[in-house]
Structure 1
Amino acid sequence: MASWPPEQLFLLLLCLVLLAGAATPQTAPPLSVDSADRWVRPGCQSKCGNVSIPYPFGIDSGCSRPGFEINCTDDGTPYLGLGRNIELVDILLSQGLLVVDHSIAKNCDYQNGSKSDIESRINITGLPNYKFSHERNRLVAIGCDALGFISSDSENTFATGCWSYCTDVSSVPNGTCSGIGCCTAPIPMDLSDISLLATSIYNHTHTNFSPCSYAFLADERKLNFNLSSFTEYTTMETAPATLDWAIMNQTCEEAKGTDDFACVSPNSVCWNSNNGPGYLCNCSQGFHGNPYLNDSNGCSDINECSPDTSPCVKRCHNREGSYSCSCPWYMYGDGQRDGSGCRSILRILYLSLGVGLSLFFLIAIVSWLYWIYKKRKLGELKQHFFEKNGGSLRQDIRLFSSEELEAASDNYNPSRIIGEGGAGTVYRGVLPNQNAIAIKKAKISNDEAEVQQFINEVEVLSRINHRNVVKLLGCCLESQVPMLVYEFVPNGTLAHHVRGEGKRGSLPLEARLRISSEVAGALSYLHSAASTPVIHRDVKTTNILLDHNLTAKVSDFGASRMVPLDQNGLVSLVRGTFGYLDPEYFQTGEFTDKSDVYSFGVVLVELLTGKKPVAKMRAVKNLATLFIDCVNSGRLVEILEERVVDEGTPELLEAVAELAMRCLSLNSNDRPLMREVAMELEALTRWRIHPWGNVNVEEGDSLLAMVGSSSPSVLRDYVN
Structure 2
Amino acid sequence: MFQILLLLGSILLHKQASLAAPMVKEGCPETCGGVAIPFPFGIGTGCFLDEWYEINCQNGIVPTLKKANLRVLNILLPDTHGERNGVIKVSLPINYSSNVSCGSNGSFTPVSLKGSQFVFSASQNIFAAVGCNINVWMDDTVSTTKGCNSSCRADDHVVRNTTCLGSDGCCQINITSVLQVFSVNFQPYTETAGDNKCNYAFLGDISQFTPSVMDFNTLKASGHSAAVLEWGIANSSKAALEIYNYSSFSNKSYKCSSVSFDSAHPMVMPFLQCVCNTGFAGNPYIKDGCEGGAAGVGALSLCLINWRLHKYIKKRKETKLKEKYFKRNGGLLLERELSSPEGNVEKSKLFNSKDLEKATDNFNHNRVLGQGGQGTVYKGMLTDGKIVAIKKSKVIDERKISQFINEVIILSQINHRNVVKLLGCCLETEVPLLVYEFIPNGTLYQYLHDPYVESPISWDTRLRIAAEIAGALFYLHSAASIPIYHRDIKSTNILLDEKYRAKVADFGTSKSVSLDQTHVTTLVQGTFGYLDPEYFQSSQFTDKSDVYSFGVVLVELLTGQKPISSLREEEGRSLVTYFIISMEQNRLFNIVDAHVLKEVKKEEIALVADLAKRCLNLNGRNRPTMKEVAMELEGIRKTQYPSDIQQNQENRDAIESHDAVFTSSNSSIEMNVLKFSGVQPLLPGETW
TM-score (norm 2): 0.49
Specify which structure has the bigger relative contact order, considering alpha-carbon pairs within 8 angstroms and separated by 6 or more residues: 2
TM-score (norm 1): 0.47
